[in-house]
Amino acid sequence: MTTRRQRQVAELLHQEISLLIQRRARDPRVRLVTVTGVEMSPDLRLAHVYVSVMGDQEAAKQALMGLRHAAGFFRRELGASLSLRYQPELVFRLDDSLERGFRIDELLDLLHDETLDDEGGAE
């Protein structure tokens, strides 16, 4: 169960990291990255940053490598702009919920088409 403080810090980190990626990151691998969410540990020392990447699997892999490489830069910049007791360690993870959602939609469409075919053949 997340506390109100965890949610507040997560939202603040979400906004700040998004801005850093858009405005300050120079690595071309992270240009097409969107921060989709942040989850904080109960002690606020670890932040799981979920990102979505435009492109194929190779682009996503390269973007994650770029983000992990720049994690120290992000922590330093967050420390300068936020007043938190501890600067959380940033762990970047690929958010594949969009792909899973598209796959579920495809399966539902397929099931719907099969149902229509079965009803049409029974008449």
Which domains are delineated in the chain? 4-97 (3.30.300.20)
Question: Which position has the higher pLDDT, 5 or 111?
Answer: 5
pLDDT at 96 (0 to 100): 81
Helix (H, G, I), strand (E, B) or coil at 53: strand
Helix, strand, coil fractions of the chain, as percent rounded to 5: 60, 20, 25
**Residue 14: pLDDT band with limits 50, 70, 90:** very high
Amino acid occupying residue 104: I
pTM of the complete model: 0.80
Cα 9–chain centre separation: 16
Amino acid occupying residue 75: R
Yes or no: say if 38 and 50 are a contact pair by the CB < 8 Å rule: yes
Amino acid occupying residue 15: Q
Q: For the purposes of burial, counting CB atoms within 10 Å of the CB of 55, is it exposed (0-12), middle (13-18) or buried (19 or more)?
A: exposed
Question: Which position has the higher pLDDT, 118 or 6?
Answer: 6
**Residue 113: pLDDT band with limits 50, 70, 90:** confident
Measured CA to CA, the distance from residue 17 to residue 47 in angstroms comes to 11
Helix (H, G, I), strand (E, B) or coil at 77: helix
**Residue 97: pLDDT band with limits 50, 70, 90:** confident
Is the pLDDT at 98 greater than 80? The verdict is no
pLDDT at 72 (0 to 100): 94
**Residue 106: pLDDT band with limits 50, 70, 90:** confident
Length of the chain: 123
